[in-house]
Structure 1
Amino acid sequence: MSKKQKNILVIRLSAMGDVAMSVPVLRALEQQHPEVKTTVLTKSFFKPFFRDLQHVTVFSADVKGEHKGVFGLYKLARELNKNHYFYAIADLHSVLRSKILKKFMHCKRFVSIDKGRKEKRLLTSGKQFKQLKTTHQRYADVFEALGFPLDLTNPKFPKRVPLNKKLQNILGDDSKKQIGIAPFATYESKMYPLDAMKQVIETLSKDYKVILFGGGNYETELLNTMAIEFDNTINISGKLRLDEEMDIISNLDVMLSMDSGNAHIAAMLGVKVVTVWGVTHPFAGFAPFNQPEDYALLADRNKYPKIPTSIYGNKYPEHYKEASRSVSPETIISKIKSII
C-alpha cells in the first residue's frame, strides 16, 4: 500500500444479507475514492462477496471460536494492530462485540452506523408509516462522516462470470432464460407459502429454466422434491460453494427471493430482483440495492394493517404468518415475465 493510500477497517460480521448490502457501497468507495483501501472484518464464509473489489482485503473473524468473548476480541484486536495501520474504523455493525473490539484497537478515529432504531420503532408500532433511509445509505453515511462522501445513484456492477464445465453440466446447455428462485427466509412470516410458490414454479418452468436456491438439509430436501416434480427445474442447494452459487446468480435473468440474503447477493451482482414481502416492509430500509419499487411485491396492508410488525419478521400476530399469500401467484408470474 502506498503512503498516500488510506486503509480503513470496515466491521460487518453478520448476517449474510447485511454483509452483502455493504458490497455496492464498498464498490462505490473504490470507484469514487481510489486513494482508500479497506480491510473488511467479517466471517470467512463471506469472503467471496468481495472478490471483484481490487482495494478490499478480507480479515476473517471467528467469533464463535478463537475470537469468542472479550478475551477472543482482545486477541483479534492484537492481530489487527500487529498487521495493519488503520487510518479509521468504519463500524457498519454497531453491536456490543464491535464496540468492545474498538476499545482494543490502536486507531481512535472511528464512526459507527446510525441504525435509526427510534425511527424503526415508530415504523413497526404503526405510529409512522414512511420510507426510512436505506441500509445502503446508512453505510454510505459512515464513510461520508470519515471524509469520503459517496454517490450511490449510478452504480457499476461486475460482468457476468463465464461458467466453468462443472456449472455448465449442472445447468445444461439450452438457451432458455434463467430464473433463480430462493423461497426460504429466516422466519416463516417472511416466506411465500410453499404451496403457492409451487404454482409459480410450475408455470414459469414451462417457458424458462428455474434454478432453486436454499441451504441446509431441510431446505435441500424440499427443493429436490420440487426439482423432480417440475420440468426445467434444477436445485443447486447443498451442491456448490458460495462462490460457485454467485457465478450462477451472476448469469440469471431475474432472481425471485423473499426479504432475505439471496435478494441482496443477486442485487450486489447487478441482477434484477423481484422480492415478495410478508410481515416486513421495504420502508425499513432493507430492500435490495438499485431495484425499482415495483419489483417489491407487498402483502395487502388493507388486510394486514400492522405491517411491518417487526424489522426482521420475528414478531407478528399469529394470523399474519401467511400475510404474503395476499400476493397472488399470478402477480408474481406476471411481474417476472414483464422483466424478462
Structure 2
Amino acid sequence: MSKRYLIIQTAFLGDAILTEPLIETIKHNDRDAFIGIVVIPSNVDVFSLNPKVDVIIPYDKHGEDNGFLGLKKLVSTIRGYRFDYLIAPHTSFRTSTIAFFSKIPTRIGFKEADLSFVYTHRIKKPAGVHEVEKNLELLEPLNFKEYINEIRLYWSAENKRFIEGIFEAYSINSSDKIIVINPSSVWPTKRWPKEYFKEVAEELTKKGYWVVLIGTQNDIAIADFVKNNNDRIIDLTGKTRIKDLFYLIAWAKLLISNDSAPVHIASAFNTPTIEIYGPTVPEFGFYPLSSKSKIIQIENLPCRPCGKHGSVSCKQKHFKCMRDIKPHVVIDTALQLL
C-alpha cells in the first residue's frame, strides 16, 4: 500500500512555490507516494498542473474557513485521506493546531514553530541557506537517499496562448528581448520607489527592449505611474493568472523585481534576475537561484534588516535602504545581464 504524505503551506505565493522541491524529493524517493498539499485558495494554481500532486486541499483561512468551524472542516477533510506523514514548512500557531488535530501518525515540523511540541519530529531550521534547503531538512526523518532542490512549475497550452497572443498583438517576435518588471510587493517598505522603476523602464525601452509590468489588482496605480503612456511598456498588472506568469517569466530574458514571489518563479526557469533588497536581506534565504542573477542592496546600513517581511513604513523615517539604490545601478546591471 502506498504511503501518503501531506504538506501544509498556507503562507504567501512565494512560500508556496518554495515548497515544491519537497514534492519532487518525496516522489523521487517514493515513486508510489500519494501526495497532498494544503494551501490558501489563491495558491491552488501553483500546484494544479503538477503531475506529482494527487490532491490539493484549499484552506481559506482569512475567508470562509476562518475560525473554529473552518478549522474543524479542514481537519475532517485531512483525516478522510488517512495520511501517514505530515510535513509543515509553515511555522504558525494555526498550522501546528491543524497538525495536532489531524491525528496523522508522523508529524514533522520545525523546532522554531509555534506549539512545536505537537510534532513527533522537530527539525532545527538551518541558518545561512536558501529557503528550499531549509524546507528539505524536514524530510530528514524519512531517510530519503536523494534530494531534489529544483523548483518545477507547470503551465497549460491556454496560458501559452494567452501570453503569445499578447506578444502577437504588439508584433513581438522570438528575437525581441522581453524584460519583466515587478515594481510592487505586499509590504510597502519592500517596494523600490516607483519613480526609480519608471526611470529604469524608460531607459530600457529607449535601448530597444520591451518591458512587461506584472502585479496584482492592488498594484495598478503603481504600474500606471511606471508605464506613463510608453508604447514599449506592456502593462499586464492584474491581468494574469499564476500560470500565465509562469510562462511569461520563463520566456523573458530578464526579471527585475523587489524581494517578492516572481523571483522564485524565475528561479524555477533559470531566468536571469535582478532582485532589489531594502528592509530584508538575502541571508533570510529568499534570494534568486537562477545561474545569472544579481542582488542589489545597500550594504552596511545599521538598520537593516528591520524585519522578516518588511513593514508598512520605515521605522527610521529615511527609507535609505531603498532610496539610496539609484536607477543607474539597476540599469547598468540589467545591461550586463542582457
TM-score by length of 2: 0.84
Q: Structure 2 counterpart of 1:69, which letter? A: G
Unmatched tracts of structure 2, length 5 or more: 115-126
> C-alpha separation between the residues in 1 aligned to 2:187 and 2:238?
20
Aligned residue for 1:307, secondary structure, equals coil
Q: Indicate yes or no: 2:323 matched with 1:325.
A: yes
Aligned-residue offset at 1:72: 2.0
Q: Among residues 69, 72, 84, which one is paired with 1:71 in the alignment?
A: 69
CA deviations on 1:133-160 (whole Å, 9 max, x unpaired) are 322111101112233355356x374688
The residue that corresponds to 1:203 in the other structure is: 203
Aligned-residue offset at 1:305: 2.2
The residue that corresponds to 2:132 in the other structure is: 136
Most deviating of 59-68 and 234-243 = 59-68
Change (3 A) 1:47 1:30: same
Residues 11 and 42, structure 1, Cα contact 8 Å, conserved in 2? yes
Aligned-residue offset at 1:98: 1.2
Aligned-residue offset at 1:165: 4.1
Question: Identical aligned pairs, as a percentage?
Answer: 20
The residue that corresponds to 1:299 in the other structure is: 298
Alignment of 1:137-286 (within 5 A): 137-148=133-144, 150-152=146-148, 155=150, 157=152, 164-171=160-167, 172-175=170-173, 176-206=176-206, 207-217=208-218, 219-286=219-286
Most deviating of 49-58 and 101-110 = 49-58
The residue that corresponds to 1:12 in the other structure is: 9
Most deviating of 137-146 and 29-38 = 29-38
Aligned-CA RMSD value? 2.7
Q: Indicate yes or no: 2:42 matched with 1:42.
A: no
Change (3 A) 1:292 1:245: closer
CA deviations on 1:199-224 (whole Å, 9 max, x unpaired) are 1111112221111011124x213313
Aligned-residue offset at 1:11: 0.3
Residues 70 and 100, structure 1, Cα contact 8 Å, conserved in 2? no
Q: Structure 2 counterpart of 1:201, which letter? A: A
Change (3 A) 1:274 1:110: same
Aligned residue for 2:18, secondary structure, equals helix
TM-score by length of 1: 0.84
Change (3 A) 1:234 1:100: same
The residue that corresponds to 1:334 in the other structure is: 332
The residue that corresponds to 2:106 in the other structure is: 109
Residues 189 and 320, structure 1, Cα contact 8 Å, conserved in 2? no
Residues 194 and 225, structure 2, Cα contact 8 Å, conserved in 1? no
The residue that corresponds to 1:287 in the other structure is: 287
Change (3 A) 1:140 1:38: same
> C-alpha separation between the residues in 2 aligned to 1:87 and 1:42?
19
Residues 300 and 326, structure 1, Cα contact 8 Å, conserved in 2? no
Residues 250 and 271, structure 2, Cα contact 8 Å, conserved in 1? yes
Q: Which has the higher contact order (CA 8 A, sep 6+)?
A: 1
Q: For this pair of structures, how many residues does the alignment match?
A: 319
Q: Structure 1 counterpart of 2:75, which letter? A: A
The residue that corresponds to 1:59 in the other structure is: 57
Change (3 A) 1:329 1:89: same
Change (3 A) 1:164 1:54: closer
Aligned-residue offset at 1:36: 2.9
Q: Structure 2 counterpart of 1:273, which letter? A: T
> C-alpha separation between the residues in 2 aligned to 1:101 and 1:227?
44
Residues 255 and 273, structure 1, Cα contact 8 Å, conserved in 2? yes
> C-alpha separation between the residues in 1 aligned to 2:164 and 2:291?
31
> C-alpha separation between the residues in 1 aligned to 2:292 and 2:284?
13
